[in-house]
């Protein structure tokens, strides 16, 4: 290899590393305020606006189970919104049978009301009794059509205390768990979600690269992938056909098949200049779709498909910016596709 060619390769690698570091630092800054925490059968996720979601489940491996999601926005006087979902992974019984009953210490606390979207809701009185039962470690369950759905309070104290702490409510009258007489001046205000202006694109969908594009682009991107020790693309998948979408007169998005696992697959998405005169940027090596300026990634937590994680990035005219990230809760056989939508990063996307 010539010295000039070596120098070009070094410069190319340095530019790629610099871009990666900038993206990593900006991404890390955006993620700092998000909080996740788990203890026993309960999980907590607080997103970048300080909206918190606490989810409880049945004990692991206990079936049929149930899950309760508690959602609260940051700020004084914000209510706690509850939702209940019973395990119907293999059937659609939830909304066709009678409304389920809440049972506390073996006694009925009345029927729930429908909250839509395959979930139920406790009344204000039921929810008050539900929280009191959690504090006293009373047995909790739900019953529908003579079938009992198990639920666990184990871990709820730690998770709900953490939820109050993140939002600055501990020892205030509005705390969920540890109420007190402290001033609610400590309660944190909600943070604004980042505002992303979505830019229009020329190609709303990917298309197969033609021979000329493939000859121009593939060697450069293969070199970039070879220089990236953290990407996980396999040679077999990279040998498959590639796709491209023109974003605007300056940039295009290139999709290369990257990896294949037991129940997930991911593609490498590159932002490239249409003249290939500037270094390409690896946007993702685990993308699963592109649509009208949006790059998405959706991954199963396990083969049963009862839990998923997701990410989305938006084209703003110069780069792809993360717009959302989250998951659907634990792998608990509640629903095919997951029980809840639990974001840890949200944004406001405006534009076409």
Tens of pLDDT, residue by residue over 59-106, are 998 999 999 999 999 999 999 999 999 999 987 554 557 899 999 999
| Upper half-sphere CA count for residue 50 (Cβ side, 13 Å) | 16
Starting at the edge strand that comes first in sequence, how are the strands of the sheet with 281-287 ordered? Answer: 207-208, 243-246, 251-260, 265-273, 281-287
- Which residues lie below 8 Å from residue 26, measured CB to CB, with a gap of 6+? none
Give the whole-angstrom CA distance, residue 284 versus residue 268. 6
Q: Output the pTM of the full model.
A: 0.88
Is there a contact between 159 and 42 (Cβ–Cβ < 8 Å)? yes
Helical segments of the chain, H only: 3-31, 124-136, 156-166, 211-227, 235-238
Q: What is the pLDDT of residues 182-194, one digit of tens each?
A: 999 999 999 999 9
Give Cα 12 to chain centroid, integer Å.
Answer: 33
Cis? peptide before 195, omega within 30° of 0:
no
Cα 112–114–118 angle (5° rounding)?
A: 115
The per-residue pLDDT for 96 is 58
Is there a contact between 132 and 124 (Cβ–Cβ < 8 Å)? no
Please name the helix (run of DSSP H) or strand (run of DSSP E) that holds residue 274, with its range, or none.
none
Is there a contact between 256 and 238 (Cβ–Cβ < 8 Å)? yes
The per-residue pLDDT for 229 is 85
The per-residue pLDDT for 6 is 41
Structure tokens at 316: 């703003």
- Positions in the chain short of pLDDT 70: 1-32, 92-96
DSSP helix/strand/coil, 249: coil
| Other C-beta atoms lying within 10 Å of the C-beta of residue 273 | 13
| Other C-beta atoms lying within 10 Å of the C-beta of residue 61 | 8
The per-residue pLDDT for 7 is 40
The per-residue pLDDT for 32 is 60
The per-residue pLDDT for 95 is 52
Nearest C-alpha neighbor of 284 from the set 264, 257, 304 = 257
| Upper half-sphere CA count for residue 340 (Cβ side, 13 Å) | 28
């Amino acid at each position: 290899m010539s010295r000039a060619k070596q120098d070009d390769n070094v410069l190319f690698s340095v530019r790629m590393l610099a871009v990666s570091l900038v993206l990593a630092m900006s991404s890390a800054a955006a993620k700092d305020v998000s909080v996740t925490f788990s203890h026993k059968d309960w999980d907590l996720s607080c997103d970048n606006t300080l909206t918190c979601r606490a989810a409880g489940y049945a004990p692991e491996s206990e079936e049929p189970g149930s899950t309760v999601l508690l959602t609260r926005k940051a700020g004084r006087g914000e209510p706690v919104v509850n939702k209940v979902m019973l395990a119907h992974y293999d059937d659609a019984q939830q909304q066709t049978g009678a409304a389920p009953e809440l049972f506390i210490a073996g006694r009925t606390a009345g029927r729930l009301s429908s909250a839509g979207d395959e979930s139920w809701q406790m009344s204000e009185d039921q929810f008050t009794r539900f929280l009191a039962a959690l504090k006293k470690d009373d047995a909790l369950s739900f019953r529908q059509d003579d079938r009992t759905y198990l639920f666990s309070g184990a871990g709820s104290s730690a998770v709900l205390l953490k939820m109050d702490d993140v939002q600055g409510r501990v020892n205030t009258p509005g705390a969920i768990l540890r109420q007190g007489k402290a001033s609610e001046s400590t309660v944190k205000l909600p943070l604004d979600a980042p505002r992303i202006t979505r830019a229009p694109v020329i190609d709303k969908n990917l298309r197969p690269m033609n021979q000329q594009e493939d000859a121009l682009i593939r060697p450069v991107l293969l070199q970039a992938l070879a220089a990236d020790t953290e990407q996980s693309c396999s040679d077999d998948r990279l040998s498959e056909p590639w796709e491209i979408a023109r974003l605007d007169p300056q940039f295009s998005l290139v999709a290369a098949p990257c990896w294949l696992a037991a129940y997930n697959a991911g593609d490498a998405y590159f932002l490239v200049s249409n003249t290939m005169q500037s270094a390409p940027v690896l946007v993702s090596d685990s993308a699963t779709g592109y649509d009208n300026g949006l790059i998405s990634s959706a991954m199963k937590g396990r083969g049963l498909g009862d839990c998923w994680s997701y990410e989305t990035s938006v084209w703003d005219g110069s780069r792809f910016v993360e717009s959302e990230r989250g998951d659907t809760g634990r792998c608990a056989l509640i629903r095919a596709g997951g029980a809840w939508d639990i974001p840890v990063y949200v944004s406001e996307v405006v534009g076409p």
